[in-house]
């Protein structure tokens, strides 16, 4: 049984551990800490997945600038990490789904992710080239 909730201060250490184990390096854990300290941090969009009260996954959405003819503040999805022993059990998918629902409720129009096309297109993400001809202004829905 997977439960998703917002991160709280006592989760910070295990979130760093999950990111380090999932990515095999500390860069993403450090990125999370840096974003938390910045004005780009959105507390309700730093989510943890827990199984039997143990945090096994984490996703972070934060504000980034999308620079075109005008600069838009949009959401960036990064990083997403699931503990290696809990991967391929639907935890990553659930974190993305819940995160996107919260983003939609907050009326965030655009979410950008840098990641595997096959993994992310199933959640509605499209390659950025689709948007380029519109100067990022009018998504071709
Ligand atoms: C990528 C990651 C977050 C996926 O989490 P997960 O809990 O294993 O994913 P899910 O079980 O929800 O899988 C959802 C689907 O994506 C697929 N999938 C999982 N990992 C994948 C990967 N690395 N590449 C492509 N597809 C992947 C699964 O096959 C699954 O599809 P299925 O249910 O039809 O079999 C996890 O593998 C991870 O932490 N990886 C290391 C860190 C990383 O690469 N993060 C993403 C950065 S963009």
Q: Give tens-digit pLDDT for 63-89.
A: 999 988 899 999 999 999 999 999 999
Alpha carbon of 51 to those of 20, 95, 100: distances in Å?
19, 13, 21
Does residue 37's CB lie within 6 angstroms of at least one atom of ligand 1? no
List the one residue out of 51, 41, 61, 71 whose CA is nearest residue 123: 61
CB-based contact 125:97 (threshold 8 Å): no
| Nearest residue by C-alpha to atom 48 in ligand 1 | 115
> What integer pLDDT is reported at residue 141 of this predicted model?
42
Å from CA of 82 to ligand 1 middle: 8
> What integer pLDDT is reported at residue 140 of this predicted model?
46
Domains annotated on the chain, with CATH: 2-132 (3.40.630.30)
Å from CA of 88 to ligand 1 middle: 6
User: What pTM was estimated for this model as a whole?
Assistant: 0.91
> What integer pLDDT is reported at residue 133 of this predicted model?
61
> What integer pLDDT is reported at residue 113 of this predicted model?
96
Å from CA of 40 to ligand 1 middle: 26
Q: What angle do CA 4, 9, 11 make, to 5 degrees?
A: 50
Tens digits of residue pLDDT in 129-138: 887 665 555 4
- Beta strand ranges found along the chain (DSSP E): 2-6, 41-51, 54-67, 71-82, 111-113
Residues ≥6 apart with Cβ < 8 Å to 95: 4, 47, 49, 57, 58, 59, 80, 82
What percent of the chain is modeled with pLDDT above 90? 84
Identify the bridge partners of residue 48 per DSSP, sorted by sequence position: 5, 58
Tens digits of residue pLDDT in 87-120: 999 999 999 999 999 999 999 989 999 999 899 9
Alpha-carbon distance 97 to 5, whole Å?
Answer: 13
In the predicted model, is pLDDT for residue 139 greater than 90?
Answer: no
């Amino acid at each position: 049984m997977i439960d998703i909730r917002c991160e709280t201060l006592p989760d910070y250490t295990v979130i760093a551990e999950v990111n380090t184990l999932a990515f095999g390096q500390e860069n993403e854990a450090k990125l999370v800490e840096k974003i938390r300290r910045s004005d780009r941090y959105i507390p309700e969009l730093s989510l943890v997945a827990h199984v039997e009260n143990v945090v096994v996954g984490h996703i972070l959405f934060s504000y980034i600038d999308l620079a075109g003819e005008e600069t838009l503040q949009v959401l960036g999805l990064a990083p997403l990490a699931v503990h290696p022993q809990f991967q391929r059990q639907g935890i990553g998918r659930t974190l993305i789904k819940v995160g996107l629902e919260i983003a939609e409720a907050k009326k965030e129009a655009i979410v950008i992710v840098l990641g595997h096309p096959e993994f992310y297109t199933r959640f509605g993400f499209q390659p950025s080239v689709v948007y380029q001809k519109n100067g990022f202004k009018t998504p071709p829905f």
